[in-house]
Chain A
């Protein structure tokens, strides 16, 4: 008998399993709902990296594509850290070509686009990086934090290419998209906005004050008082550098909110 978690019925707990390729299991009977999408009927077990669940066929395909990238991610970022950027990019291409037939929801395409953008920024190959970061954006973003990450990279690239005004516009557009789950990650973008505004000799738009105050709150500090909003934001980034932001549920408790954002 195998315990597959508290969400399963007594019947589900009677599933017998067989290891295939050290990862996937065959089953004699199946539970009802896919662990991953929570919608479709589960048709196969999925056991990998601390997950021991049952999933539908669509999600199994999706997870197989995901694992193809993540199983080699350490190798890729190690190559990147050694300055072997072209080798890292080549690995990404190989993974994509070998698994694109599994990538129905484009998770793999988007993730590889993200890593390509990041690697080229890291390599300071800014012209290629701009193309890569824009290609990532063209695939769309599943969550706001990824939109912000892309904007951060693209703004760094545009600034390095001597186009700070475009960089600022990219950041401000991205900050127009919000999700309280990822609020602490706005800190970096706000700092970039402040620095670019200073570089351009202009004031940070006052509309970002409220966001900066909300970010400060997640880090359990007040927004520092500065001569300008840019000064306050830069100081905020400095004083919170080593602080861990409140988890979403802690923050919701502090704010007296019960439900999801």
Chain B
């Protein structure tokens, strides 16, 4: 902002950025609109490319409302890339306000991903080995749960819930 201040008129700008995020949460592609001038757009895109969405976003699953989006809470102000509020439906929004030299740029980031895809991939990595293990030893030691483990159902629970149901399918 310091470098660009001579080229931007004071005021408030709203910048919309769409980012694509890989399965580890790293931003791999950025598009932006609404920037006060092309240099700011380039600057934002470079900064956003260095971002990584926190793992917590993937793990928490769908969050329905953004505090900032419904106007109840103002977003914190911070550096480019700081995640202040997050909305996940099948997309992720973040809103960051950058303020310097009487110029305020509100950045809305829409991450079309992968929150779901990343979570699924992570759970698959956890649940697949447990499915293998279960299918190799199906006898259930606890008669309360029947004579045999239902490994397929346990795998589906694992992928859906994020943990292996060890009562239903105890590990050997």
Stretch from B24-32, B104-112, B147-155 that touches the partner: B147-155
Query: What separation, in Å, do the CA atoms of A35 and B140 have in the docked complex?
Result: 11
**Of the residues B59, B155, B160, B165, contact of A73 by C-beta under 8 Å:** B155
Contact check, B166 vs A244: say whether CB atoms are below 8 A apart.
Answer: yes
Query: What separation, in Å, do the CA atoms of A149 and B63 have in the docked complex?
Result: 20
Query: What separation, in Å, do the CA atoms of A93 and B75 have in the docked complex?
Result: 51
Per-residue CB contact flags for chain A residues 221-261 toward chain B (1 = under 8 Å, else 0) read: 00000000000000000100100110111000000000011
Contact check, B161 vs A185: say whether CB atoms are below 8 A apart.
Answer: yes
Query: What separation, in Å, do the CA atoms of A181 and B163 have in the docked complex?
Result: 16
Query: What separation, in Å, do the CA atoms of A53 and B139 have in the docked complex?
Result: 10
Q: Which residues of A contact B60 (CB under 8 A)?
A: 238
Q: Is A172 close to B, CB under 8 A?
A: no
CB distance from B87 to the nearest CB of A (A): 11
Query: What separation, in Å, do the CA atoms of A247 and B144 have in the docked complex?
Result: 12
Query: What separation, in Å, do the CA atoms of A176 and B124 have in the docked complex?
Result: 30
Query: What separation, in Å, do the CA atoms of A149 and B153 have in the docked complex?
Result: 9
**Of the residues A35, A115, A187, A260, contact of B161 by C-beta under 8 Å:** A187
Q: A51-B148, A115-B152, A241-B162 given as contacts; is B167 within 8 A of A199 (CB)? A: no
- How large, as a class, is the contact surface on chain A? 35 or more
Interface positions, chain B 38-68, Cβ under 8 Å from A, are 59-65
Q: Is A36 close to B, CB under 8 A?
A: yes
Q: Is A152 close to B, CB under 8 A?
A: yes
Q: Is A171 close to B, CB under 8 A?
A: no
Contact check, A50 vs B155: say whether CB atoms are below 8 A apart.
Answer: no
Contact check, B156 vs A149: say whether CB atoms are below 8 A apart.
Answer: yes
Q: Is A213 close to B, CB under 8 A?
A: no
Contact check, B131 vs A36: say whether CB atoms are below 8 A apart.
Answer: no
Contact check, A77 vs B147: say whether CB atoms are below 8 A apart.
Answer: no
Q: A36-B148, A70-B152, A81-B124 given as contacts; is B137 within 8 A of A152 (CB)? A: no
Query: What separation, in Å, do the CA atoms of A108 and B131 have in the docked complex?
Result: 18
Q: Is A146 close to B, CB under 8 A?
A: yes
Query: What separation, in Å, do the CA atoms of A160 and B62 have in the docked complex?
Result: 11
Q: Which residue of B lies closest to A122 (CB)?
A: B120
Contact check, B168 vs A153: say whether CB atoms are below 8 A apart.
Answer: no
Chain A residues with a Cβ under 8 A of chain B: 35-36, 38, 48-51, 53, 63, 66, 69-70, 73-74, 77-78, 81, 111, 114-115, 118, 122, 124, 145-146, 149, 152-153, 159-160, 181-182, 184-185, 187-188, 191, 195-196, 198-199, 238, 241, 244-245, 247-249, 260-261
- Give 13 A-B contacts (CB < 8 Å), ordered by A residue: A35-B147, A50-B136, A50-B137, A50-B138, A51-B139, A114-B153, A114-B156, A122-B159, A149-B156, A181-B167, A182-B165, A191-B61, A238-B60
